[in-house]
Structure formats: C-alpha cells, structure tokens
Amino acid sequence: PDKRNDEKFEWGYLGSNGPAYWYQVNETCKGIGINQQTPIDLKLEDFVNSTKIELNVAKETELILLNNGHAYQVQRLKGTIAEPTLNYDATLKD
C-alpha cells in the first residue's frame, strides 16, 4: 500500500516501515537496500566522528536526553531552557 498520504506512517529500520518501504514516503528512496539508511552515498570512512555531546543549559534545569531511533530528543523535567546548545561533530574528511 502507498503510505505517502498516511499521516501515521513513521519510518524505521525494521518491518513494513524499514528501508525497503521508504520509497512509499519519498520516491528518492526507491531502490535503497536494507544496508543503506539514505539515498545519499555516505561512507563511514569519510567521517570524523566525535563521541562528545555537549548540552549547555541553566544549572537548575533537569533534562532527559533520549535517542528515539531517529534523533536525539531533549525532554525538560524542571526549570527553563532559554537557548540550549547541542553540539555534535560528524564532519566529512577532506
């Protein structure tokens, strides 16, 4: 079935919402195999990866940093966030 108009469709990595079905949301993804995550040919050996993640917020603020499978998500439990900064370096090598 065509899922492009299904607002409840959420892409994922397994089953009927995995890479083999991404083209149903975006035609650019047609033909992507199960070992690829994007129609853009990104090679791990071309990246400089930093495992350091920085999140700067007010001292009184309580947060949870979640990996929801698609991105990192910050949930505020207490306090305020004026302008959070999240830095992650995954740049391509020259």
Residues 10-40 have pLDDT tens digits of: 777 778 777 777 777 777 777 665 566 565 6
Q: Considering its fold, how many domains does the chain have in total?
A: 2
Two structure tokens written together for 21: 């079905």
Residues 37-71 have pLDDT tens digits of 565 666 777 777 666 666 667 777 788 888 877 67
Rounded Cα–Cα distance for residues 76 and 78 (Å): 6
Rounded Cα–Cα distance for residues 53 and 89 (Å): 8
Rounded Cα–Cα distance for residues 79 and 60 (Å): 6
Residues 83 and 61 in one domain: yes
Residues 32 and 76 in one domain: no
Which domain range does residue 15 map to? 1-39
Residues 24 and 57 in one domain: no
pTM score above 0.85: no
Residues 13 and 47 in one domain: no
